[in-house]
Structure 1
Amino acid sequence: MFKCLIIDDEELARALLESYVKKLDFLELHGSYESPLDAMVTLKEQAIDVIFLDIQMPDLKGTDFAKMIPAETKVIFTTAYSDYAIQGFELDALDYLLKPITFERFLKAVSKLKVTHTEVSKTEYITIKSGYDLHKIKLEDIDYIESDSEYVVFYLNGRKIMSYQTLKSLEKTLPTSMFLRVHRSYIVNKAKVTGLKGRDLLLNEIIIPVSDSYYNTVKSELF
């Protein structure tokens, strides 16, 4: 299931896209907004897979907003102006839909989500550089990752590996289908989570704190 947002200042355009999303069982609408500014709160609280984003809007152009969203969130531009196509693809958009948008063209665009998801899921290993050593680690063996100043520590089945990198940069490389940021200092393997007690995540006997800013995302993603 791919979580999506619709952002378009035209009500009829939003309604059309909403009707298309409802027809597909692999899409889940988490918000439909008239302005990109209204969508910012949702993006902070939830991990969104794709945004259907109009380009020409009064408050903030879609091409400018696309530069502000998380790197793992895909963008499908929607616009009535074909001259924006090149700019859209320069921003690494998943697709570019020219209005009026037919369902067939919409379906072709969102089908690309399945292709990119499959490619990510095939990445079963990660290579971790620790000092002069390289470690090839199965993603499924990672319990959680902790930030330690300019380093991160990978916890794997009772052992740990320290690597010189930031949690923020690492977050962009890990598949969001498997891992979730729950605190400024922690990323967890979703499959290893066994419970939520107050503001703490449980990984069996391990306790991981959850920041207030990530709490709603943790509840919606894991429970």
Structure 2
Amino acid sequence: MRSKLKCVVVDDEPMAREIIETYITKTPNLEVLASCKDAAEAILFAQENEVDLFFLDINMPEISGLSFAKIIKNKSQIIFTTAYREYAIEGFNLNVVDYLLKPISFDRFLQAVQKVSQSEIAKNNNDFMFVRSDRKMVKIDFKSILYIESLSDYLKIFTTDKIIVIRETITSLEEKLPSKKFIRIHRSFIVSFKNISSYTNEFIEINQKALPISRSYKESVLQKLAKV
């Protein structure tokens, strides 16, 4: 059985937050992790917790929803909730899942959620990806990946039988990997959950190699490993 999508509601209007929270509780595949009154509070929460989906107001004081969406850089999916139609084009340029105009009906809410569910399921059910290496697109099975290391302007993908070198940022590659199968432990390392042989508070061991867990990732990494 698939786990529920973990949701955070971000809106400076208490009534607007309450409506979305009610809709989430009525939807079987969703759960409310937090309800935040502004983007700053949501940013702090996202640093300490894994969030699948933000229901995000755009017109908020200090940090707008648009700015927040740029800050989290596709680490979570976003559905915008706003009373202002003029933000729609910029919102979709940020690759958000959907754009809901207030007042939001439950039917329209469910349509948006369906898009999220389909996207998440597809991402986590794929068992391979293609990457560009040596002037061709190379297929890599997720199950063969041990870990990924970032070295300046290129990456090394360590698999069970070879090393594949690609020119891509570790952040962009992280977005292509299913979050249920891989975890970022350091600005320079992503590892495969299933290939972890042991770990401490400081290191993860894969294939007899100790990879460091950085201070900024430590809390979230240890929380995820404790749930495996």
Provide the rounded CA distance (Å) in 1 between the counterparts of 2:136 and 2:88: 45
- Secondary structure of the equivalent of 2:16? helix
Tell me, yes or no, if the aligned pair for 1:45 and 1:213 is still in contact at 8 Å.
Answer: no
In the TM superposition, what is the alpha-carbon distance from 1:122 to its structure 2 partner?
5.0
Tell me, yes or no, if the aligned pair for 2:201 and 2:213 is still in contact at 8 Å.
Answer: no
1:201 equivalent in alignment to 2:204: yes
- 2:111 partner amino acid: K
- 2:84 partner amino acid: Y
- Secondary structure of the equivalent of 2:47? helix
What does residue 38 of structure 1 align with?
41
Q: Could you tell me the TM-score, scaled by structure 2's length?
A: 0.84
Which stretch shifts more, 15-24 or 70-79?
Answer: 15-24
Provide the rounded CA distance (Å) in 1 between the counterparts of 2:59 and 2:136: 50
What does residue 93 of structure 2 align with?
90
In the TM superposition, what is the alpha-carbon distance from 1:213 to its structure 2 partner?
0.8
Which stretch shifts more, 172-181 or 32-41?
Answer: 172-181
What does residue 69 of structure 1 align with?
72
- 1:169 partner amino acid: S
- 1:38 partner amino acid: E
Identify which of 69, 81, 84 aligns with 1:81.
84
What does residue 143 of structure 1 align with?
146
1:219 equivalent in alignment to 2:222: yes
Call closer, same or farther: CA 1:205–1:21 in 2, change over 3 Å.
farther
Q: Could you tell me the TM-score, scaled by structure 1's length?
A: 0.86
Provide runs of 4+ in structure 1 moved above 4 Å. Answer: none
Provide the rounded CA distance (Å) in 1 between the counterparts of 2:135 and 2:91: 41
Query: Matched residues, percent identical?
Result: 38
Tell me, yes or no, if the aligned pair for 2:202 and 2:214 is still in contact at 8 Å.
Answer: yes
Q: How does 1:100-111 map to 2 (within 5 A)?
A: 100-111=103-114
Provide the rounded CA distance (Å) in 2 between the counterparts of 1:129 and 1:87: 30
Call closer, same or farther: CA 1:156–1:20 in 2, change over 3 Å.
same
- Secondary structure of the equivalent of 1:101? coil
In the TM superposition, what is the alpha-carbon distance from 1:157 to its structure 2 partner?
1.6
- 2:130 partner amino acid: T
What does residue 127 of structure 2 align with?
124
- Can you list the C-alpha shifts for 1:86-135, whole angstroms capped at 9, x where unaligned? 33333322112222223222222111111112332454322344445653
Call closer, same or farther: CA 1:70–1:222 in 2, change over 3 Å.
farther
Provide the rounded CA distance (Å) in 1 between the counterparts of 2:57 and 2:119: 22
Call closer, same or farther: CA 1:83–1:178 in 2, change over 3 Å.
same
Tell me, yes or no, if the aligned pair for 2:124 and 2:179 is still in contact at 8 Å.
Answer: no
Provide the rounded CA distance (Å) in 1 between the counterparts of 2:194 and 2:224: 11
